[in-house]
Amino acid sequence: MASEQNAPAAGKLWGGRFTGGQDPIMTQYNESIYFDRVFYSQDIRGSIAYARANKNNKLLTEHEFSEIERGFKQILQEWQDNTFKIQPGVDEDIHTANERRLGEIIGKDIAGKLHTGRSRNDQVATDMRLWLRDQLDTLEGYLVDFLKVIAARAEKDIEHVMPGYTHLQRAQPIRWSHWMLMYGSFFASDLQRLRELKARVNKSPLGCGALAGNPFNIDREAIAKELGFDGLIMNSMAGVSDRDFVVETLQWGSTLMMHFSRWAEDLIIYSSGEFAFVKLADAYSTGSSLMPQKKNPDSLELIRGKAGRAFGHMTGLMMSVKGIPSTYNKDLQESVEPLLDHVKTVGDSTQIATGVLSTLAIQPDAMLRSLTPDMLATDLADYLVRKGVPFRETHHISGQCVALAEKENTPMDKLSFEQLQGIDARFEKDVLGVFDYQKSVEMRSAKGGTSKSAVMEQIEAVKKALAGQ
């Protein structure tokens, strides 16, 4: 049951209208300072830019602006030195905290002029966009590093051949590098989407006021230029209520994590004793508290698990936003914590994935041992296609060869020429040359295929994606 004691509204930015106190639990429920303080530097940058615009509007004197700038520089240093003292119950958010401290440093008379024409509605939207813009730059760097490792390892390990799978059943031989570049293609698309997202994030809402705009003809374009924005959100109501930039970030991150999860699942399977295609470095593995022989791929399992966490951020926020009416509602505060955790989750996962792949040891002999002649059944059909037989007929003939090998309990490449001719007289002596895994992968030389030349083209495509081409 809530306490009957009241917390006074005095000292709040909005306290003038209220005569009654506030339930202490409501105070805690409402405040965001303990997570939105991460925006301290962005809030200060935006406040200085806004104060400069008010100085240019003659709402602040040169001296007043100079004092505001001096005070904020001291506050910034306090945050950086971890000496800023949050006042519980008073500093409900980062904006309140910074403005309260500014008044203590330069006096409330001057500090009280800072907020003229501004609302926390456009202020928080600005802070979030500034912060996210920097974070997306960092995430882009992490993703670029990961793609560089994919390209480098694909080039280095290009000679090795392994089974390719559909339905988790052995299908056709492929190059190990071709498998890596499948994910390289996915992640290159993620990089492109990230760069497109950044352009939409980097729009300025500052100067939109609470919802109706600024009454002092403030120069929003000058503010946006000072803060490094590419342009303005042109509708003031949209400026304060838009969280699409957060939703889209969470959608982008969820897509990236979906790809990481699939990539991790493949490597978890490939690192098992039954496959043994790869070995994880000790730095990205753990042991068992009971079984000394165990080496567990916990790094990959955590990536796979954290994908679900990322999806939760996205769906949770979309459910919070979907039903609220126009402009600012306090529901939008729920966009901050998921964003903070999402950015950290995605950034950590990308760095771990880069570490895993750069230190991964492949085991080509195990890959070769997993190849079986029946995986060349399509090559056998293609052999007859080159002799003019329709593919639907050659598919049936090749299937008969597979059935005979199973009946005789012998590998397909051990069937005699006479046995093959017994199935179809159009087989010639050179048919036995079909059963060559390296030849099989080299035959698939069309763009996007698994031949060496096609794989090298894919590596170049990834490199071009990194360069933004």
Q: Cα–Cα distance between 210 and 194 in angstroms, integer?
A: 30
**Element holding 279 (H helix, E strand):** strand 278-279
Task: List Cβ neighbours of 428 (8 Å cut-off, separation of 6 or more).
Answer: 387
Q: Residue 368's closest CA among 459, 469, 277?
A: 277
Q: Where are the beta strands (DSSP E) in 191-253?
A: 203-204, 231-232
Tokens representing 35? 């997570």
SS3 at position 388: coil
SS3 at position 370: coil
SS3 at position 297: coil
Q: Cα–Cα distance between 135 and 396 in angstroms, integer?
A: 56
Tokens representing 225? 């230029």
**How far apart, in Å, do the first and last CA atoms of the chain sit?**
61
Planar angle of CA 205, 200, 45, nearest 5 degrees: 45
The two beta strands, 161-166 and 169-175, are antiparallel
C-alpha dist (Å) from residue 255 to 209, 308, 380 = 34, 11, 39
Residue 7 bridge partners (DSSP): 22
Active site residues: 167, 288
User: Do the beta carbons of residue 427 and residue 421 sit within 8 Å?
Assistant: yes
Task: List Cβ neighbours of 214 (8 Å cut-off, separation of 6 or more).
Answer: 117, 118, 207, 208, 220
SS3 at position 203: strand
Question: Hunting for tokens 């992490």 — which residue is that?
Answer: 142
